[in-house]
Structure 1
């Protein structure tokens, strides 16, 4: 088994890491417990959040151990790590610090440099998809200032440095320390965890298969959408461009918009051409509303309008306004009958910015997929390649086998999102699609297909046959037309 162990006071971080592990390794392979009930005699992979009074010698031979957050002095000595005795992260680093990742053995990090905080639009979103690393002693913060020759990722700002990840191979164990309580849950570099658990020293240490974030048989999967805060028909020129490219088109609708029969016909045209319609709330409130009841009303009324008035049946999925989700709004979406939602943004609600799609913290049924890459005119670069950041975002997804999603908004007289003309906007979209298509085996799907696949992934169990080859079993009715795959020791099984 893969076991996550935490202190009771770290239960919030534990829930976030636990669901991240489930998204990658399937619920039947992961369990969560506390240090006061710890049982370390069983061979397995162990994740420990803020461990105290723990020695690697407590764990069986052939185990793998991942330490998250703070470690104490004795464990630091065991790992040959030098801890700073008094300095706090905020004394050393600001949001301008950068983490540099280095390759090891058979693994290379897809993202080799990660700033603590990065925005493409002031204090809102990050087109490269990752979350914020803090220095405030929260679960999103680096935990300690430390130095070690075993570092495979280091933090630097000016002339100041500290360890972010250390890597330790012993004769009968392997151990990783990540200097942050939630580890790598909010970036494509989470794939390092999948590599370490599934493939590192496969012949001599315990390993477990992981679920691929993309469907079987492809190298990449891509979905797009428009978040329709404006006149619905304003999306038509871009929709027609996507039709010409044979790429599925999705539209998230704010249902308080004034509509006509022409709008209704257009939505059905999108559906009938292989696209998808999603809810974008009624009034586009932050977190769907000021409390659970407000959020539930928004979610329920939007669903009713799209199903009854626009005849989008069933309406399964939503896109959260401003990508903002509190626990109460997620619970409201679940209770209103949604099966999943799109969210995730660097500016807020970090627990719902996830490297992999699927199960989410503090909810049991509803799933989510993070998509914060916004293809807007005001984010294009002025240099020779205006799409360089978008291409980099896709490259990260392609390398890490991350299901990639991006969005835009309708072009309207009120607001153009930095686009000069509709023609300029369409040209940028076409150029980006052609870049992605230049890679091999890229699958383009609509947003409903993306989220239906994530439902199947969250319902998957991983079992092993007599030859120790992984087998996938769905514990609920299959929703997606695509198949879930798993990887073990760099081999893919479906």
Structure 2
């Protein structure tokens, strides 16, 4: 079991970290524990979230007693307690006041990207945990001050749970990543120690990297770091077994539905599934219905999702309006197509917690959203269950917007999109991207339909050239798989792990997709109920 310990003052960060861990190792294998339980229960792996200095002795004892008991792993997110810092030769310092400005990005003009002067830069040691020479700005935009097509959230410098905690130095041999401002290294961001018989991983943020592809480092530390000497925790892969990439895409029908037909026909030629998320005021026009029925004629290749009834910002601003938006949209779509709607896409990708609760009560099984501008808790490295919400409802962050406005004017127009897929490919992440059908009012920066189709075709060709065995899924199939994965449990008994998958009647998974699990450096197919070796 992984024990997650946090003070009451950081309960919000603790719950987000707990949810992130459960998206990787299942809900059975990550539990919130008390400070007292560090010694009385002493799980093999502990994650400490912004632990106070007064907890130093407990954490040092957890690490050092491994020499006389059993090896352990400790992950520290945010503040490093003072005595533990001394033990690890971690030298704390206050954040420089100028970091707040350096952490912010300018708005992106059409055809360009912008990023903050402050970035996280990973070094060679990151390769030990499946990382690369990664460059993650604190904040970046590809469309005005809203979208980051590379998919991750914002690192702040404002004292919040999303901010760097301090400006320390760590031993050079332990540093995984550093904060760099205008090309100059400032202080450490992540580190890895072999502390006696234990291993310690640290990230300079109370929530760790839970909103970024960098979460892969946490998973690799848990599942495969020093497997012959340290305890390892199985991690459920976000990719279906047998594939090295999984991709899903959609068009959000804000103002038009039927105009999606030319791009749909291109996807049919390419043999790629197609999804439409429909704002149901479009259904007031009868000429917008037929494409939906045609698309759903082949349920393996087409899917329809809700994009709300009125496309109101923040789902109308309350639980009640979100409930009404979701319920009305689902009713109208089922009436138009004869097929129940189980998943939604947030308008403007705004996904506040009250809206998710409204969708749950409206009967939905999940939602797609996530955007760097707002609702940071919905920008998640892995899809699955969300903090504070019931099992069976899943969220998936898909922030990559394939728009003409986001095609670069200089160099390779698709460079950012290729990088977005490369990051997903390198970190075993289910990758999602989106576009919008044209309307009389707006073509989303595309010169015409032909140039838009060409860009989509080039991007799909790049994905197929990069991945050896990619799997293209429509959105319903992708979310069904994430839901199946979220309901799967890893059970530990007498020192052995086995994976228990939900029964067939529990989930509506209609494709023969199976799970993979990473454990002690090996990636293997899940054999339900069989012990992992």
Same fold? TM cut 0.5 = yes
State whether structure 2 residue 78 is matched by structure 1 residue 76.
Answer: no
Distance 1:382 1:40 in 2: 60
| Cα distance change on mapping 1:67 and 1:89 into 2, 3 Å | farther
Counterpart of 2:107 in structure 1 is none
Counterpart of 1:151 in structure 2 is 175
Distance 1:399 1:112 in 2: 11
In 2, are the aligned partners of 1:92 and 1:160 still within 8 Å (CA)?
Answer: no
In 2, are the aligned partners of 1:463 and 1:473 still within 8 Å (CA)?
Answer: no
| Cα distance change on mapping 1:94 and 1:110 into 2, 3 Å | same
State whether structure 2 residue 276 is matched by structure 1 residue 230.
Answer: no
Distance 2:281 2:460 in 1: 31
What is the TM-score normalised by the length of structure 2? 0.89
Residue 71 (structure 1) shift:
1.9
Residue 93 (structure 1) shift:
4.4
| Cα distance change on mapping 1:129 and 1:156 into 2, 3 Å | same
Name the stretch that deviates more: 238-247 or 259-268: 259-268
| Cα distance change on mapping 1:89 and 1:63 into 2, 3 Å | farther
Counterpart of 2:515 in structure 1 is 484
* Residue among 57, 61, 65 paired with 2:60: 57
In 1, are the aligned partners of 2:314 and 2:350 still within 8 Å (CA)?
Answer: yes
Counterpart of 2:119 in structure 1 is 98
Residue 464 (structure 1) shift:
5.8
Counterpart of 1:329 in structure 2 is 355
In 2, are the aligned partners of 1:98 and 1:116 still within 8 Å (CA)?
Answer: yes
Counterpart of 1:130 in structure 2 is 152
Distance 1:138 1:384 in 2: 37
Counterpart of 2:245 in structure 1 is 220
Distance 2:360 2:46 in 1: 31
In 2, are the aligned partners of 1:224 and 1:249 still within 8 Å (CA)?
Answer: yes
Q: What is the CA deviation profile of residues 381-425 of structure 1, one whole-angstrom value per residue up to 9, with x for unaligned ones? A: 123321111011001111100000000001222101100010000
Name the stretch that deviates more: 361-370 or 247-256: 361-370
Distance 2:94 2:134 in 1: 29
Distance 2:40 2:198 in 1: 14
Distance 2:100 2:380 in 1: 28
| Cα distance change on mapping 1:93 and 1:36 into 2, 3 Å | farther
| Secondary structure at 2:31 match in 1 | strand
Name the stretch that deviates more: 99-108 or 1-10: 99-108
- Where in structure 2 are the equivalents of 1:408-423 lying within 5 Å? 408-423=435-450
Distance 1:67 1:467 in 2: 24
In 2, are the aligned partners of 1:102 and 1:108 still within 8 Å (CA)?
Answer: no
In 2, are the aligned partners of 1:154 and 1:162 still within 8 Å (CA)?
Answer: yes
Q: What is the CA deviation profile of residues 299-350 of structure 1, one whole-angstrom value per residue up to 9, with x for unaligned ones? A: 11001111123322x2100000011111111100110000001011100000
* Residue among 474, 478, 487 paired with 1:446: 474
| Cα distance change on mapping 1:25 and 1:103 into 2, 3 Å | farther
In 2, are the aligned partners of 1:88 and 1:144 still within 8 Å (CA)?
Answer: no
* Residue among 62, 76, 101 paired with 1:67: 76
Residue 265 (structure 1) shift:
2.0
Q: What is the CA deviation profile of residues 81-121 of structure 1, one whole-angstrom value per residue up to 9, with x for unaligned ones? A: 11115756846843220110123363342561100000001
In 1, are the aligned partners of 2:130 and 2:220 still within 8 Å (CA)?
Answer: no
In 2, are the aligned partners of 1:68 and 1:178 still within 8 Å (CA)?
Answer: yes
In 2, are the aligned partners of 1:324 and 1:343 still within 8 Å (CA)?
Answer: yes
Distance 1:41 1:297 in 2: 46
Q: Matched residue pairs, number?
A: 493
Counterpart of 1:381 in structure 2 is 408
| Cα distance change on mapping 1:206 and 1:40 into 2, 3 Å | farther
Q: What is the CA deviation profile of residues 114-172 of structure 1, one whole-angstrom value per residue up to 9, with x for unaligned ones? A: 00000001111001000000000000000001112222100011345011001111230
Counterpart of 2:136 in structure 1 is 114
What is the TM-score normalised by the length of structure 1? 0.96
- Where in structure 2 are the equivalents of 1:161-180 lying within 5 Å? 161-180=186-205
State whether structure 2 residue 305 is matched by structure 1 residue 282.
Answer: no
In 2, are the aligned partners of 1:213 and 1:402 still within 8 Å (CA)?
Answer: yes
In 1, are the aligned partners of 2:178 and 2:185 still within 8 Å (CA)?
Answer: no
State whether structure 2 residue 208 is matched by structure 1 residue 183.
Answer: yes
Counterpart of 2:455 in structure 1 is 428
